[in-house]
Structure formats: structure tokens, C-alpha cells
Amino acid sequence: MASTIVRGRYVVTGVIDENTSNIIENGAVFQRDGEIIEVGPYEEIRSRHQPDEEIGSSDFAVIPGLVNAHHHVGLTPFQLGTLDMPLETWIIARWALRDVDPYLDTLYCAMQMIESGITTVMHNHMMARLPSDAGLYESGARIIEAYEDSGMRVAFSLSHRDQNHLVYEDDERFLATLPATLAQGIRDYLGGRPISLEDHLSVTAELIDKKQSDRTRVFISPHNVHWCSDEMLRAIKEFATRHSTGIHIHLQETVYQKMYGARNWGKTPLAHLADLGFLGPEVSCAHGVWLTEADIDILAETGTAICSNPSSNLRLKSGVAPLNVLLEKGVTVAIGIDEAGLNDDNDILQEMRVAQKIHRVPGVASPALTSHQILDLTTVNGAKVTLFEEQIGRLEPGKRADMVLVRLDRIEEPYLDPDTDIVDALVYRGKGIDVDTVIVDGDVLLRGGRFQKLDKAEIIGRFKETLARPLSPAERRRGDLSRELLPHIQRWFEGWELDRGTPHYFYNERA
Ligand SMILES: [Zn+2]
């Protein structure tokens, strides 16, 4: 590594409050061996340091690296043949998806993420979706190796579940309602590759032991409250404490999940987690669309964070999370794409825009997230939930040199009012295609839109080759099973009368 001056017409070092960011006009960052040494006006920085290289010009805005706080896979379910559906049926439709090479799949999405300015990701991988022809540890390690090769920072976890694999009740009770041959086919499929709690803990411990590094953290992940027994949740909490690591879990993503809590524990799933002593600052929960007022108080009191995925929530008919209330009450909120951005890509700048616009509820006095708040959620709060808070989130001395240079021409031309705040300009008009250069730990990963360490065309070519093979008999069988099962899943959930409580937001009225 070496020293660099990174300059831009604007250097956004970090957010100060909801209406202000610290912006240095004609500013620069001096970094040495991946550490930020000084930030200030370009002329001053240049007079004090002799870098090996200078990057940037007055054509760019320099911002801290962005964090995608919730992510699972590379090729999206849509690319693999599944249209958007409500989560409860969509996860069964996903059985039909073909297997992909975990290394190439991860490199593919890492490239997409870097191209939109993401330098750090919370990657949450379902153990059941690991290919069955390799060991669990090897497959997890291959995903981490893809991130190592890409240069990104990652908080990686393997996610597991031990109950309610079909609908929100005991598997056998539901299977008893199905035609016998279908039920047997599902039993064979679910039992085909049992992964125990012990496997989950020991593989995660091995990954922590062998794969953790400056840029890689290994978390542990129970999939979601209703999908995990209390025994599993307790063991995972204990594991995270023993290994001083983070926990990432899905939570109250849909109304059905909230209702499951009321039916089974007489309280919300989050309140159940609180009873188990599960919550705390090391815990981040994906989605949290169906949080009650009391839930939000619990999150604030315990320091538990929410990773919100606005586009995914729209696509899977999950709803709109109460972000305004969460922020009002001081809950840490970060933004994730869940590989389900509105354009089915991994463009974080667009996701920031969706996050900002979807929470604009009617009324002149109703809250509206500012661009500075949105930037804070995708930098500082993203750093908090991935446990990289000490290292990243702001461009200031002592932090690691993770930054993004965004081209200003398309955003500003032919005219943009010169009084426009650059943070507003980025959140209102920025897109992944404007990202020019991406730096992690002082390493240039992308320059002029071109990868410096990866051969994109070669990787895509190799990936295409592996995907050109015909479906295996096992993949075909899984697809048939999924298509046969889906109407039964649909009918089971149709039997639930949805709760109609008092919403946090109101968007329209019928009478
Ligand atoms: Zn998810």
C-alpha cells in the first residue's frame, strides 16, 4: 500500500445533524497505508504531503464508502425465474431456483455493489442454500474469499432455522393436511440434508477462527424468530457473547410474522426476544416493518438496531417500515438492499432515494427524512450494525480510507442551482452509473468505472459457463415440488384474517 491524496470539488466527511453535513469545498483526503491522516482544503493538504499518487479532481464529490446493511445472494430470485410474491409464498417458490457457484455468485454481486459505491456489506447467507456438493465450511469460506478477492469489507453470517419450514406452524401438522405423495416428497427434501444447531455453531466458530480479518467479520444468524426454537435462540446469543461477535436476524418482516407472535406467545416476536434476554447493541434486525410502538421502545432501550430494506418490502408486499418513528425514538437504523432493489440491481444510491421518498407521509407537519439523515443511515449507522464503527463511516483522521468518488457531470448538467447542497444532489439525482472510483483501506478497487483487481468480463464469462449447464435431476425435482406445494401454502395463509390495527403512517382513506 502507499499514500494518496484523494480530492474533489466537494469532500463530504460525514453528517453533522439532520440538516447539515461537513462539506469541504475543493477538499482532499490524505491517506497512508489505508489510514486517513488528514482531511482539509486541497491546497493545504497538497502543500503538506507528498503522496505516491493523487486521485480525483474538481469533477468529483468524495464521500465515505457506503454500507449495504442487508444482503443475501448475487443472482436475484427474479433472474433465477421467480416473480415478486408475498414473502410467505415467495420463499417456497425459491425452492425452484437453481444452484449457483457461491464464489462466482458472490463476486458477481460484489462487483455490482462496488460499482454503486458500496464498500461494506452485511452478507447473510442461508445455510440451506449452500450447494450440497461441498462442505458447509468450504462453501461459507468460498463466499468470504470472493469478498477478499473483491477488496470489500464484509460482515458475513450463515443463517439457520430449525422449525416451521413450510408455513407458520409445525411441519408435521401442516404436512398431514397435504396429499400423501406430496407430503412424502417434502419430507424427503427437507430431511435430505439435515444441518444441526451444532453444525451451525461449529462452522461459524471455524469461520471466525480462520477467516476473520481486518476487512472480514463473521457474525452468527438465526433466520427469524418464528423459524427458530427458543433453544436455538439462546444458544446463538450465548455463542455471540462468547465470541464477542454480532447477531443478524430477520424480524417482523410481514404482518403474518407479527400475528404469529400474538398467537404463540401473546406478544410480538421482538417482545419474545426481549424475554429471552436476546437483544442488545450487537443485535441487528432486518426489515422490522411490523413493529409496534412498544417494540420501538424495546429497540431503543436495548440498543438493538434495524436494517431497513424499503424496496424489498415493496416488492414482497411486506409494507412500509415505521422509519420516521424509529429515528424519532433514537433507534439505530441502517439501509439494506436485500438484493431486491427496485431495478433488481444493487444500486445503493437508488435505494437511498427509495428510503427517503417512501417515508414521506401526507401532511405539512409530518416528518420527512432529509438527505443528510439518509447519508447517515448508509454510512455511520451501516458501520455500527456491521461492527466496523471504529474503522469507517466518516472521512476523518484515524479512520480507514474507505471512500467513493462520484462524477458530478450527469448530476449537475446542464444546470443545477449552485446553492443546492451536494448531499441533496447525490440523494435526489445520484445513481450507480455516476460512481467513478471506489477505495477501501486505501486500495483502489474501481477507477474510471473499471475494476483494478478483478477482470469483470472474465468473471462474468466464467459465471455464464457454469450457468449454461442444464438443470440437474435434483434441481428439477425441487422445482416440481415447489410448484405443487405453492397453492397449498397460499391457501393456508389465506385462512388468516389480517390484523387491522392502527398504522404508524396513513396514506389514504376509503371513507
Ligand atoms: Zn433478508
Co-location of 144 and 209 in the same domain: yes
Confirm whether 222 is domain-assigned. yes
Domain identity same for 426 and 361: no
61 C-alpha vs ligand 1 centroid, how far in Å? 31
- Shared-domain flag, residues 25 and 120: no
Residues 71, 192, single domain; the answer is: yes
Judgement on whether residues 47 and 125 belong to the same structural domain of the protein:
no
**Residue 132 pLDDT more than 90?**
no
Ligand 1: distance of its center to the CA of 206 in Å?
Answer: 24
Same domain? For 95 and 240 the reply is: yes
How far, in Å, is the centroid of ligand 1 from the Cα of 307?
A: 10
CA-to-CA distance for 345 and 429, rounded, in angstroms?
17
Residue 342 is part of a domain; what is its CATH number?
Answer: 3.20.20.140
Q: Which domain holds residue 431?
A: 3-62+404-453
18: CATH: 2.30.40.10
> Across the strands, what pairs with 57?
8
Query: What is the average pLDDT across 349-364?
Result: 97
pLDDT class for 16, splitting at 50, 70, 90? very high
- Kindly report, residue by residue over 245-275, the tens digit of the pLDDT: 999 999 999 999 999 999 999 999 999 999 9
Q: Residue 392 falls within a domain, yes or no? A: no
Burial profile 396-415: b = 16 or more Cβ within 10 angstroms, e = fewer: eeebbbbbbbbbbeebbeee
Q: Give distance in angstroms: CA of 434 to centre of ligand 1.
A: 27
Instruction: Please give the pLDDT value at position 133.
Output: 74
| Residue with the larger pLDDT of the pair 397 and 97 | 397
- Please tell me the predicted confidence (pLDDT) of residue 237: 98
Q: How many domains does the chain have?
A: 2
Q: Is residue 98 part of a domain?
A: yes
Sign of CA dihedral 36, 40, 43, 45: negative
pLDDT tops 80 at residue 83: yes
Q: How far is the CA of 71 from the centre of ligand 1 (A)?
A: 6
User: How remote is the CA of residue 503 from the centroid of ligand 1, in Å?
Assistant: 23
Rounded distance, CA 149 to CA 141, Å? 12
CA of 338 to the centre of ligand 1 (A): 5
pLDDT value of residue 1: 58
Spell 170-197 as b/e; 16+ CB within 10 A means b: ebeebbeebeeeebebbeebeeeeebeb
Q: Cα of 225 to ligand 1 centre, how many Å?
A: 13
Position 474, amino acid: A
Task: State whether 135 and 238 are in the same domain.
Answer: yes
Q: Quick: pLDDT tens for 159-193.
A: 999 999 999 999 999 999 999 999 999 999 998 88
Q: How does pLDDT run across 200-215, given as a tens digit for each residue?
A: 999 999 999 999 999 9
- 277 CA to centre of ligand 1 in angstroms: 23
For residue 159, the model assigns a pLDDT of 97
Residue 473 predicted with pLDDT over 70:
yes
Is residue 120 domain-resident? Answer: yes
pTM over 0.85: yes
Asked if 182 and 146 sit in the same domain, the reply is yes
43 plus 84 within the same structural domain: no
57 shares its domain with 156: no
Whether residue 102 contacts residue 142, with contact meaning beta carbons closer than 8 Å, is answered with yes
Q: What is the distance in A from the centroid of ligand 1 to the CA of 258?
A: 16
Distance 18 CA to ligand 1 centre (A): 28
CA of 56 to the centre of ligand 1 (A): 36
CA distances from 193 to 135, 136, 184 (A): 11, 11, 15
Please list, in sequence order, all residues whose beta carbon lies within 8 angstroms of the beta carbon of residue 196, skipping any fewer than 6 positions away: none
Reply yes or no on whether the pLDDT at 402 is more than 80: yes
For residues 53 and 76, state if they share a domain. no
Task: For residue 247, report the distance from its CA to the centre of ligand 1, in Å.
Answer: 14
Residue 482 lies in a domain: no
Distance in Å, CA 126 to ligand 1 centroid: 9
- What is the chain's mean pLDDT, rounded? 97
Give the cell for residue 347.
Answer: 444500486
Of the pLDDT bands very low, low, confident and very high (cuts 50, 70, 90), residue 502 is: very high
- Decide if pLDDT at 285 tops 70: yes
Distance 221 CA to ligand 1 centre (A): 11
Q: How confident is the model at residue 134 (pLDDT cuts 50, 70, 90)?
A: confident
How does pLDDT run across 95-111, given as a tens digit for each residue? Answer: 999 999 999 999 999 99
User: What pLDDT, in 10s, does the model give residues 136-148?
Assistant: 999 999 999 999 9
| Judgement on whether residues 38 and 124 belong to the same structural domain of the protein | no
Residue 352 included in any domain: yes
Per-residue pLDDT band for 336 (boundaries 50, 70, 90) equals very high
Report the share of the chain in percent with pLDDT over 70: 100
